[in-house]
Amino acid sequence: MTRFKALAALALAGLFSVSAMAQNGGVEKLNQFVDKVQTFEAHFEQTVIDTEGNILEQAEGQFQLQRPGKFRWDYQTPYPQQIVADGQKIWFYDVDLEQVTVKSQQEALAETPATLLSGELVPAEKYHMQNLPSDDGLVWVELSPKDPESNFQAVTLAFEGNLLKQMIMRDSFDQRTRLTFSQVRENPHFDNSTFHFSPPAGVDVVGEDLQ
């Protein structure tokens, strides 16, 4: 699993299960989002930016999520890849390499923002939550862990009206992963097969016992 894919899976997973005390602005928008949105679908553009503002990697594709604990990324460019979490295992499929890596979802996402994906409310004492000023017409909120040993510094979300439009994760190396959402659909119906992954015939499967 590349660091690029890991950032995508871990960063986005966390933002759908956060609990916060209702306030005006971004914190309130986040609360409303968590309370009302059980499924989510959007086209995404992902950019990884280094500490000097240089673009390291870019990608885009389709993202789908169903709380609790299920999500999938279908990368379309620059390389076709899939990341599927079914609530028990997380699957990373590199189409070009013809390889699938499978891991325990709980262990793979432990001590990351993705632990929030459990769907349970996160104690507010674990996070500093604050509304951020804005000059771009979006409503911003930042969540930063109180644990100094956390492997990420902050997750920042932006809302346009009640729709989630952007998310930025700043990791412990001060690199940022920015995701911009378009064609957003809240609470769509997904088929049961959406979050089920079966390795294609002929590909190498590495990782945990599949039984």
Domains of the chain: 3-199 (2.50.20.10)
Neighbouring CB atoms inside 10 A of 28's CB total 17
Q: pLDDT-based confidence at 112, cuts 50/70/90?
A: low
pLDDT of residue 120: 45
Amino acid present at 44: F
pLDDT value for 113: 57
Q: What Å distances lie between residue 194 and 43, 64, 71, 74, CA to CA?
A: 16, 9, 9, 11
Asked which of 39-53, 68-82, 124-138, 192-206 is least confident by mean pLDDT, the reply is: 124-138
Answer whether residue 85 shows pLDDT above 80: yes
Give, as one character, the DSSP assignment of residue 11: H
The pLDDT of residue 152 is 83
User: Tokens 């432990």 map to which residue?
Assistant: 110
Nearest 10 degrees: Cα torsion 2, 118, 122, 171: 0
Q: Which amino acid is at 143?
A: L
Residue 145 has what pLDDT?
84
Its pTM stands at 0.81
Q: How far is CA 90 from the centre of its chain?
A: 13
